[in-house]
Amino acid sequence: MPWRHKSNPTASVLDDFKGDQSWRLFRIISEFTEGFEKLEHIGDAISIFGSARLEADDPYYLKTVELSTLLGKNGFAIISGGGPGVMEAANKGAYEQNQPSIGLNIELPMEQNANAYQDISLNFRYFFVRKVMFVRYSMGYVCMPGGFGTLDEFFEALTLMQTHKIYPIPLVLFGSEFWGGLMEWIKTTLVEYETIAEDDLELIKITDDTQEVLDFMIAHRAWKNRQRLF
């Protein structure tokens, strides 16, 4: 008997896979079109990723509010996945600073409720369309503690930069205690097996300091603005 996950896919997901391919293509195009139209003018934006499961009294939730507030005060818009936990904290700081606060929400088998701190709220059926929006409209990534989704976004951006598919952007892991084990494994196992180059580690920054994150982003914004002059 084939292995099955204990949680069955929702009917809507199954219907989508069984549906007519041409209609699915139209849905994909419509999601790209809406995303491009609504995000075209947001300016310099930082994407903040992290767990939906962290409560409002969690230290990393509070650090995320502190970081997004600091970024907002310095003219950065914030993009999150639109849900609760760290995503809510990310949107909250920007929203309270009257900076653009964007939520890129996704339809999931377990319903994800959109947080209340979004000026622009987009809803996606397809993860890959949503990922394009994060990459296209972000000039920096911050990964707070999170699960598979956060790891997915982190490694996606890392791979795109390593393979020169996008220009380098600040890619920050916030929380040395949380991320330290992963970084040690990358530095030892991947480098020792020569599956990555040691220089690839320069693409990743790790910190526990919100001011340091802001400094990374301001320096990158200044570099980006200089490139526009030439």
As a whole number of Å, the CA-based R_g of the chain is: 18
The answer to whether 115 and 84 have CB atoms below 8 angstroms apart is: yes
Q: What is the pLDDT of residues 53-80, one digit of tens each?
A: 999 999 999 999 999 999 999 999 999 9
Q: How far apart are the first and last CA of the chain?
A: 62
- pLDDT tens, the chain, 230 aa long: 444 445 555 545 445 555 577 888 999 999 999 999 999 999 999 999 999 999 999 999 999 999 999 999 999 999 999 999 999 999 999 999 999 999 999 988 765 688 999 999 999 999 999 999 999 999 999 999 999 999 999 999 999 999 999 989 999 999 999 999 999 999 999 999 999 999 999 999 999 999 999 999 999 999 988 887 66
- Spell out the residues 6+ positions from residue 187 whose beta carbon is closer than 8 angstroms to its own: 201
pLDDT for the residue 19 = 56
| Alpha-carbon gap, residue 14 to 4, rounded angstroms | 14
pLDDT for the residue 230 = 61
Comparing CA positions, the residue from 170, 142, 148 lying closest to residue 49 is 142
Q: Distances in Å between the alpha carbon of 148 and those of 26, 49, 134, 151, 225?
A: 29, 11, 17, 5, 34
pTM of this structure: 0.89
- Domain 19-228, classified CATH 3.40.5.90, yes or no: no
Residue 10 in 3-state DSSP?
A: coil
Comparing CA positions, the residue from 151, 130, 154, 108 lying closest to residue 36 is 130
Domain ranges of the chain: 19-228
pLDDT for the residue 226 = 87
pLDDT for the residue 1 = 41
pLDDT for the residue 108 = 80
| Alpha-carbon gap, residue 206 to 212, rounded angstroms | 10
The answer to whether 124 and 104 have CB atoms below 8 angstroms apart is: yes
pLDDT for the residue 207 = 98
pLDDT for the residue 8 = 54
- Spell out the residues 6+ positions from residue 214 whose beta carbon is closer than 8 angstroms to its own: 67, 70, 71, 74
pLDDT for the residue 113 = 81
- How far does CA 144 lie from the centroid of its chain? 10
Number of residues that make up the chain: 230
Which ranges of the chain does DSSP label H, i.e. alpha helix? 11-18, 21-39, 59-73, 86-96, 127-137, 148-162, 176-185, 191-192, 210-228
